[in-house]
Amino acid sequence: MQIKTLIKYLEELAPPFLALEGDPTGLQLGSLKQEAANVVVALDFNREVMDEAIEQKANLVVTHHPFIFRPLKAVEPDSPTGSLICDAIKRDLTVYSLHTNLDVAEEGVSRRLADLLALNNQKVLKPTFTQSLFKIVVFVPLGYEDRVRNALAEAGAGWIGDYSHCTFNLEGKGTFKPLEGSNPFIGQQGKIEKVSEIRIETIVSEENLNKAISKMIKAHPYDEAAYDVYPLKNKGKIMGLGIIGDLPTEKSLAELGEEIKELLGVDGLKIAGFREKTIKKVAVCGGSGGRLIEKAVSEGADLFITGDIGYHQFQQGADLNIALMDPGHDATERVVVPFLADYLRERIKKGGHTHQIFISRVETSPWKLL
Ligand SMILES: [Zn+2]
C-alpha cells in the first residue's frame, strides 16, 4: 500500500475542500508514492516527533497543524525549519496535515470536544460549508436494476441519514433506434426498439456525484446509458467551526471547570464569569475560537470553551454576559489525535493491511503552566 492510500482514507474524513481559505493543509513534505510503513499521529511536527517516527519505523507523520505555515523563501539547512525539512527528507519521511478541513469536518476537532462533554442537540456553531445535493435519474432495462442500484449506493448515492440504498423505482417503456456504428445490447441497427425499463432515481451529494455517475455507467448494460442529473434545492449537511449543544445535566461553571480539567488532562484553565452561574447550553471550538464569542452569544450559549482567548476577548465575554473557559489551544485540539489514530486503524484493518498506527507521546505544546 502506498502512502497515498492512507491519505485517501484521511481525506474521506476531512476533505481538503472544507479547508478555510489560505490554509496550507495537506502534504507538507515527502512522497505520496512511497510504500507505507507505520504511521505516527501528532498535533504538531517537530524534531522530537521525527525521532519518534524513526523509532516506530514509521514513514508517515499525520499532524493537525501544518509546520510549513507561511511560504518558505528558501530551505536553508542552517535555519531551524530548513534543517528539520532536510533531515526529514533524508529519512524518507512524509508529513501530512489535516488542519482547518479537520476543524470543519463533520467528525472533526470540535465534534470530539462536544462528544467528550456528551452534549445533546449538537449543531454547528458557525457554518462555513453547506453540501449541494443532486438527483440522478437513470433508465435501466428490467433485470439489471439491482446491479445499477448497488453501484450507485456503493459510490455514496442514496444515503439519507442512517439509511443507504434509498431510491425510487418506476417501471415504463423506453424506446431507441440503434444507428450505424452502435453496438446495441438489445435490438438491431436501424430498428426502433421498445424495451421495459426501470427509472431509478436517487439523491447524491456534489462530492460523490462524479463517482456515482461513473460507477453507474460501468454497471449499466447499455453502451450509451440514458441518465439525467438535476440540481436540488434541498440543503445537505452543514459543516463549520465549533459546535453548540446542551449538557445532559445543568452544572455550575466551577463544577464544570473541574470536570473539564479532568477530561482534557490539564492542571488548570482560565475561566471568566460567576463561579456559581448555571451552565446548560455550551459552545465549544478547538484551537483558537475567540472570534466566535459573539456567535456563541447569539446562539444562546451560557458558556463558550475554546483556546487562546485574549485579554480583550475575556472583557468582551463579560460585556456580553457569557461565561468563558480557556483550557489551552493544544488541550482543546489533542482530543482529535487518538480519534484520528483509531480511524486510520479501522480503515487499514478493513483494507486487510497490518501497518501500525502510533499516537505521538511528544508533548508539543510550546508553553507549560509552572
Ligand atoms: Zn490549532
Read off the pLDDT of residues 197-229 as tens digits, 9 standing for 90 and up: 999 999 999 999 999 999 999 999 998 999 999
The confidence score (pLDDT) of residue 370 equals 83
Cα(103) to ligand 1 centroid in Å equals 9
- Are 84 and 210 in the same domain? no
Considering the domain boundaries, does residue 149 fall inside one?
yes
Write down which residue in 205, 237, 269 finishes a domain. Answer: 237
User: Which of 92-106, 189-203, 214-228, 356-370 is predicted with the least confidence, judged by mean pLDDT?
Assistant: 356-370
Ligand 1 centre distance from Cα of residue 365 (Å): 10
| Predicted structure pTM score | 0.87
Alpha-carbon separation of residue 98 from 62, 241, 289 (angstroms): 8, 15, 17
Cα(99) to centroid(ligand 1), Å: 8
* Residue 287 CA, ligand 1 centroid: distance in Å: 4
Residue 117 lies inside a defined structural domain of this protein: yes
Does residue 369 lie in a domain region?
Answer: no
pLDDT band, residue 363 (cuts 50/70/90): confident
Ligand 1 geometric centre to CA of 24 (Å): 13
CA of 330 to the centre of ligand 1 (A): 7
Span 319-341, mean pLDDT?
A: 97
Residue 219, pLDDT score: 97
**What is the pLDDT averaged over residues 337-361?**
94
How far, in Å, from the CA of 43 to the mean position of ligand 1?
Answer: 8
What does the DSSP 8-state code read for residue 262?
Answer: H
Once rounded to an integer, what is the mean pLDDT over residues 28-47? 96
Residues 93 and 118 in one domain: no
CA of 335 to the centre of ligand 1 (A): 12
> Is residue 365 one of the residues assigned to a domain?
no
Q: What's the 167 CA to ligand 1 centre distance in angstroms?
A: 41
* Cα(369) to centroid(ligand 1), Å: 18
Same domain, 117 and 266: yes
pLDDT > 90? residue 364: no
- Distance of CA 290 from the midpoint of ligand 1 (Å): 12
Last residue of a domain, one of 237, 271, 301: 237
**Does one domain contain both 275 and 232?**
no
**Whether residues 36 and 91 fall in one domain:** yes
CATH number of the domain bearing residue 174: 3.30.70.120
Per the DSSP assignment, residues forming a β-bridge with 139 are: 199
| SS3 assignment, position 20 | coil
pLDDT at 69: 82
| Residue ending a domain, choose from 219, 237, 255 | 237
Q: Are residues 76 and 149 in the same domain?
A: no
Residue 186 in domain: yes
Say whether pLDDT at 34 is over 90: yes
Mean pLDDT for 187-205 is 95
pLDDT-based confidence at residue 369 (cuts at 50, 70, 90): confident
How is the beta sheet containing 58-63 ordered, strand by strand? 26-29, 94-97, 58-63, 38-42, 357-359
How many angstroms separate the CA atoms of 55 and 95, rounded? 16
Residue 84 Cα to ligand 1 middle (Å): 20
Q: Give me ligand 1 centre to Cα 179, in Å.
A: 61
Residues with a beta carbon under 5 angstroms from ion ligand 1: 287, 333
Kindly state whether residues 198 and 320 are assigned to the same domain. no
Q: Give 52 Cα–ligand 1 centroid separation in angstroms.
A: 21
Share of the chain above pLDDT 90, in %: 91
Which pLDDT score is estimated for 237? Answer: 93
243, 121: one domain:
yes
User: Could you give the number of structural domains in the chain?
Assistant: 3
pLDDT tens, position by position, 141-159: 999 999 999 999 999 999 9
Q: Would the pLDDT of 366 be above 90?
A: no
Q: Distance of CA 79 to CAs 64, 67, 97, 333, Å? A: 23, 14, 22, 28
C-alpha distances (whole Å) from 158 to each of 31, 168, 208, 230 are 35, 10, 10, 14
Of 219, 212, 229, give the one whose Cα is nearest residue 155.
Answer: 212
Asked if the structure places residue 368 within a domain, the reply is: no
Task: Determine the distance separating the centroid of ligand 1 and the alpha carbon of 195, expressed in angstroms.
Answer: 59
Contact 127, 239 (CB under 8 A): yes
Q: How far is the CA of 234 from the centre of ligand 1 (A)?
A: 33
- In this prediction, residues 76-87 reach a mean pLDDT of 94
CATH code of the domain covering residue 276: 3.40.1390.30
Distance 204 CA to ligand 1 centre (A): 32
* Distance (Å) from CA 334 to ligand 1 centroid: 9
pLDDT at 344: 96
135: CA distance to ligand 1 center in Å?
37
pLDDT of 196 above 90: yes
Distance (angstroms) between ligand 1 centre and the Cα of 338 equals 16
Query: CB within 8 A of 275, min separation 6: which ones?
Result: 252, 253, 254
Task: Return the pLDDT at 331.
Answer: 96
Cα(362) to centroid(ligand 1), Å:
16
- pLDDT band, very low/low/confident/very high, at 342 (cuts 50, 70, 90): very high
17 with 96, same domain?
yes
Binned at pLDDT 50, 70 and 90, residue 72 comes out as confident
Up-side HSE of residue 52: CA atoms within 13 Å toward CB? Answer: 20
Give the distance (Å) from ligand 1 centre to CA of residue 177.
Answer: 61
Question: How many A from CA of 344 to the centre of ligand 1?
Answer: 21
| Residue range(s) defining the domain that contains residue 274 | 109-128+239-332
Whether residues 135 and 231 fall in one domain: yes
Mapping DSSP to helix (H, G, I), strand (E, B) and coil, where does residue 189 land?
Answer: coil
For residues 324 and 339, membership in a common domain is answered with: no
Are 91 and 18 in a shared domain? yes
Amino acid at 3: I
**Which range, of 76-80, 124-128, 271-275, averages the lowest pLDDT?**
76-80
| Residue 172 is assigned to a structural domain of this protein | yes
How does pLDDT run across 280-311, given as a tens digit for each residue? 999 999 999 999 999 999 999 999 999 999 99
Across all residues in the chain, what is the average pLDDT? 95
**Beta-carbon neighbour count of residue 116 at 10 Å?**
14
Tell me whether residue 367 is in a domain.
Answer: no
- The C-alpha angle with vertex 233 and arms to 230 and 236, in degrees rounded to 5, equals 100
Compute the distance from residue 333 Cα to the ligand 1 centre, in Å.
Answer: 6
